[in-house]
Amino acid sequence: MKYVHPHATLNSSIILDPTPLLELSATNGSQTLCLGGEVSVDTASSSLNQFSSHKNSFTIGSSYSLGPFTTVKDRLSNNGKAGMVVQSEWRMKSPVTLSAEYDSKAVTSSPRHGLALALKP
């Protein structure tokens, strides 16, 4: 099911098997700022879990448009990970992306960061 409103979106899906998982996501915002979150529910055990690892998790994120060509996104999860992405169009349909992720539970390791350029004709 998908519900789209000019300032909100609600999305849900269910996997049809003997122990179905119900996935829900929601966003709310305007043209420049958007906040959202997602959750997965195991209907057999009535517990929240992540589909691939069967661990409980919750993530909240936001997106902010700095202009017509630049967007900043961030996310924070309950397992201590924070991530940020800055994406800007270098040329028409060719985005440059800077990303970073910090894991507060892995204090001995350095944060991950990246740079990507997608060239499209």
pLDDT per residue as tens digits for the range 51-87: 555 666 677 888 888 988 999 999 998 888 999 999 9
Q: What residue type is assigned to position 33 of the chain?
A: L
* 8 Å CB contact between 4 and 11: no
- The answer to whether residues 68 and 119 belong to one domain is yes
CA-based nearest residue to 61, from 50, 71, 48: 71
- The answer to whether residues 50 and 101 belong to one domain is no
Question: What is the span of the domain harbouring residue 24?
Answer: 1-57
pLDDT band at 50; cut points 50, 70, 90: low
**Mean pLDDT of the residues in the chain:** 82
Output the CA–CA distances (angstroms, integers) from residue 58 to 23, 53, 77, 120, 121, in the order listed.
Answer: 12, 13, 6, 34, 38
- The answer to whether residues 92 and 104 belong to one domain is yes
- The answer to whether residues 69 and 53 belong to one domain is no
- The answer to whether residues 100 and 66 belong to one domain is yes
- The secondary structure of 10-40 as a DSSP string is EEEEE--SSS-EEEEEEEEE-SSEEEEEEEE
46: exposed, middle or buried (Cβ count in 10 Å: 0-12, 13-18, 19+):
exposed
pLDDT per residue as tens digits for the range 81-99: 999 999 999 888 889 999 9
Task: Quote the pLDDT of residue 49.
Answer: 53
